[in-house]
Every structure is written in structure tokens, then in C-alpha cells.
Amino acid sequence: MRFYPSTRTLQETEDFVERQLHRYATDGYGPWAMILKSDGALIGYCGLIHQVVDEIDEVEIGYLVCRRHWRRGFAGEAAVACRDFAWNKHRFKRVISLIDPDNIASIGVALKVGMTLEKQSRWQWKLINVYALSLPYHP
């Protein structure tokens, strides 16, 4: 949680889950739990998240992986699957990822997805890099 303001309490976690359920009801998409096939352990989440950046509606590929599962390719694999889902299922024209400029691992995931650094922006409480990928149009 180094790049977040703090860890979450149980109540904040429950509120987070409720917000994600609301996202599915209103947007038709949201983050998915990342579950290890080997033992069914919850190791994080990855998914499409509606965001407003610089007053523009965007679709973010967001991801978070538990520290003990870093550097195993899970975030990259999940993010690529989300990119393909955004493209094939929803026909989104573009996706972004909002990344702390010091978060080298997340930048690597964005690059694996095919994103490039588009700009820096103020978003919520901090300065972030906006990585973006325009997706091919499918008639």
C-alpha cells in the first residue's frame, strides 16, 4: 500500500466492496478478485474502473496485488486480460492506468499492456502519471 494514503480498516474494505458492486450495477464492469488457481487464495484485484481524469470520463485498468505475490507476472497477466476484455466485450476505444510516478512495477505492467505515458495530472490527492492505450476499432 506504499502508493496509497493508508491501509484500509475492515469498514473501509466493506465500503470498497459495496462501491465495486455499485460499479457493476451502474457501469456494467468493475474490478475482479485475483484468485490463485493452486489454492484459491485471494491475492489482489484487477479490472476496469470508470474514472474521471481532468474532467474526462476514462476507463482505467486498475490492479493491486498482495506484496508476497509481486514479481510473478500476476498483475501483467490480469491487466492484459482486462485490456482484451475492454476491447472485445465493451469495444472501448481507449484504456488508461493511473500510476504513481515512483511505482516502477506498475509502470512495467502498463507497458506490458501496451500503454505509453501520456501525461502527468493531479488526481484525487496526488500527482499521477496517466498511461494510455488506444484500442483498435472493431466494426
Question: 7 in a domain, yes or no?
Answer: no
Structural domain tally of the chain? 1
Mark 6-38 as b/e (b = at least 16 C-beta within 10 Å): eeeeeeeeeeeeeebeebeeeeebbbbebeeee
Q: Whole domain around residue 76: which residue ranges?
A: 30-120+129-134
Q: Does the model's pTM come out above 0.85?
A: no
Question: 84 in a domain, yes or no?
Answer: yes
Q: Predicted confidence band at 137 (pLDDT cuts at 50, 70, 90)?
A: low
List pLDDT tens digits, range 67-110.
Answer: 888 889 899 999 999 999 999 989 899 999 999 999 999 999 99
Question: 46 in a domain, yes or no?
Answer: yes
- pLDDT attached to residue 139: 43
CATH number, domain with residue 69? 3.40.630.30
Burial of 117 (0-12, 13-18, 19+ CB in 10 A): middle
C-alpha cell read off for 136: 483498435
Widest pairwise Cα distance in the chain: 45
